[in-house]
Amino acid sequence: MVLQRMQALLAQLYDAPVEHGVESFLVTDRATLERYVGAEAHRQTDEQVFVVEDEQGVRVGLFLDEAVLERLNRSDPLRSLEDDNLHDYCTALEGVSHFHYLIWSITRRRNVSLLELELQAEVDKYASAVALFTRQRQGQFPHSLHERLFHAVSFLPHLDELSRQRYQEANRHAARYCRWLEERYLRARRQRPELWLAELRRFFRCSQQGKMRMVGV
């Protein structure tokens, strides 16, 4: 149920529910993933959203390594997000974000690029973690979170150059945007979390071009 609750957190955060629950589209076995996507099933990847077309139509799914799920079930980040489960939380949340945003966009007949998916996921990880930390710690703001999510990062060695550039670009733009949100609405003398939330919801609904304008590109 942890992935379902992550999806519910995003749906509530952005006021953007979808009809399909992520756990109905979940794959945890790498052999099954390879049957769906073939060579694109990277063995070093713990999370991967896939869209494949077959004789029955288009199949959308989320692969999440079973070990990640087991650790999240033992140390539930939606009850207590800590240093020891933050990495697994971000891994799973990224997959849930990709799935949720993709389904939300498909139902509105919106085209979505890979960069847009990655950029939204980077913002989702930050925003949802801020929401959890402040809720779990009586409103205390997680001052080190931005550094942890956007600067203390590394990228998988198997990535090709185009993929690496896309991840780096998404990370860079999201870091700038989330820092702006943080300083304007959450760390100012007069905190205005309701405006922080409204800004996030506006960003979520923008096209890639609109998102790029909002991050200052």
CA distance 8 to 128: 11
Average pLDDT over residues 167-183: 95
Residue 171: its pLDDT value, please? 95
| Alpha-carbon distances of 8 from 96, 100, 178, rounded to whole Å | 10, 10, 21
CA distance 119 to 136: 26
- Show the tokens assigned to 173: 């733009």
By residue count, the chain amounts to 217
High-pLDDT (> 90) share of the chain, %: 72
Per-residue pLDDT reduced to its tens digit, 68-126 = 999 999 999 999 999 999 999 999 999 999 999 999 999 999 999 999 999 999 999 99
Label residue 188 by pLDDT band (50, 70, 90). low
3-state class (DSSP) for residue 160: coil
pTM of the model: 0.93
| Alpha-carbon distances of 44 from 40, 59, 158, 187, rounded to whole Å | 11, 23, 8, 38
CA distance 50 to 57: 14
* b/e burial code for range 39-48 (CB count within 10 A of at least 16 → b): eebeeebbbb
3-state class (DSSP) for residue 72: helix
CA dihedral for 122, 124, 127, 131, sign (positive or negative)? negative
Label residue 59 by pLDDT band (50, 70, 90). confident
Per-residue pLDDT reduced to its tens digit, 114-171 = 999 999 999 999 999 999 999 999 888 888 899 999 988 888 777 889 989 999 999 9
**For residue 44, pLDDT beyond 70:** no
Residue 190: its pLDDT value, please? 79
Cβ neighbours for 153, distance < 8 A, ≥ 6 positions apart: 171
Average pLDDT over residues 175-188: 91
**For residue 42, pLDDT beyond 80:** no
Average pLDDT over residues 166-184: 95
